[in-house]
Chains A and B, each alone.
Chain A
Amino acid sequence: MSDRSLTQTDLSDPALYDAGIPHQVFAEIRKQPGLSWNPLQGEDGFWAVTRFEDIVEVSRHPETFSSATGHIQIYTVPDDCLEARASMIDMDPPNHSRLRRLVNPGFIPKNLRLFEPIVRQRASALLDDLVAEGGGDWVEKIAKPIPISIICDMLGVPEEDRNYMIELTDHLVAGTANKPLDPNAYGNTTPLRFLPFESPAAFALDNYARDLGNKRRAEPQDDLVTKLINAEVDGEKLTEAEFTNFFRLLIFAGNETTRSAMSNLVIQMVNNPEIFASIKDNPDLIDGAVEEIVRVASPILYFRRTATCDTVLSGTPVKKGEKVVMWYASGNFDEARFAAPLDYDVTRPKMPHIGYGGGGVHTCLGAGLARIELRILLEEILKRDMKISLAEPPEYVHSNFVNGIEKLVVRLG
């Protein structure tokens, strides 16, 4: 243990992210040779993987760096609890591949294109309202409602339940909610350790998913929930837990992450007005602008893997069972990969970032959808010639896992 190079800062401390990504802290760790060890109080620490190439290496080798062994978040979770919570992101091939295959068809480019008109319609209506009001909380008025409405359209969640979905997913991320939830909130009787994010909101989401699944069983619709409840993997239907875990994953992932990117878009627009003026004159830059938003936003700060055998990563020996944490929030700003990494630069040569993960089988299922939502939102903002300024500094979500923005009050005009 003594020969391990240690992180000088505890990366698991949520307070570290209260003002956004701590770039200086990560830059210092990237300078250290090999991997740095982040000790934790009361349980095993973890290897901090902070360089781009190392994150890609971990992502591409699920057989060595597993999502199914151990937890995909930093903290140790007992095996029985892991099993109860497991969705596709907590699995390795081939189990992961079987589930991913079920939802893949909905997310191919030709099917995602169908959502363009509806994204544009919703973005336009919400932006027009915000303009009419002269500003307001961008998160509440724009960044929350657009992604949730699209993922709910895909899943088949009725219009009237969407605010409830926002409420529940907000509670899932520690600190995203205004106040911590009562353990018995939403009638929860499940011990919290069995619930994702140890949140009773996960219990409520499971109940909701079960009810919606029952409705679709009785009366099928052309939506993803109907598809999931009817789906057969190797001749077997999904179990109830597999279905509810899938629903929760899609609602959360289709919601919180794109929301962060949409809020970061505004921050970049405020900081770089001249860049966005040039995009307006040259729409070919939009795709680059969208990629850069996701890179600088790094909506998910990290995912963890667990070593399945003794191995060596970046020259550092890693023992079987040790936690290996990929800090996307660091790799996306790796000087070895991106020149002037802190700059928002829409003319960067086309070069994958790791805002959708480090490649490999767990690459974000919704990446194509996020690109569409962000591109259209940006197009509609530019079309309206909105002059955006911040009325107060952004309020970040108190979390070491998502780079979320809780509140972002903007002035227009």
Chain B
Amino acid sequence: MPHSGINVLFEGHNLVRLLGGLWTTVWIAALALVLGLSLGALLGALRTLKNPVLRLGLRLYLEFFRIVPTVVLLFLAYYLVPELFHVDSLPGSWMAVIAFGLWVAAEFSDIVRGALLSVPVHQRESGLALGMNRWQLFRYVLLPQALKLELPATINLATRVIKTTSLLMLISVMDVINIGQQIIEANNTTYRTGVFWVYGVIFIFYFVVDYPLSRWAQRLAAQQKV
């Protein structure tokens, strides 16, 4: 079959280019997660404090990032901020890491807060009875138990971040979807069914990255029920 669509994948460097795009997707998601999870953990812990001003501020931060669609966030970060503030901004991929990182931090702060609060009260009281100070209580009693509780939700968040990177093509980042479209358009007169193969491969790529994470989350959730 000289014109079977699958051949589009093996022409020139097409497959290598797609893999390069996947790498862009993965490193941006990974860096955004590292940034977002560290910042989110801190913010989540702060949100359990009683200070009303702090709580309101953090709550507003969370609501903002939760309500505003990621597309709009990326657009704001990439086009509007540089235009309004007249700054020569970072390249698209770094703006993406920052925008995604802030979004992850917001979502994660809520997961952390929920997990810390759901550690049973008697655990906290036993700690206090042992004469632990606030930091020790946090470090040795609350954190280890909260970590276990928040892990499945965190992994779900990670898979969502990886999938959402498909929006990056809007801000000129050459991610796997963007490169896939280049290949489709360059070949759509010679390989009419190429579009299915290219998107098929992209589907497999996302699956290979996301499925192990999803399985891991399931396993952890199952362990917790025991």
Instruction: Say whether A associates with B.
Output: no
Q: Which residues of A contact B (CB under 8 A)?
A: none
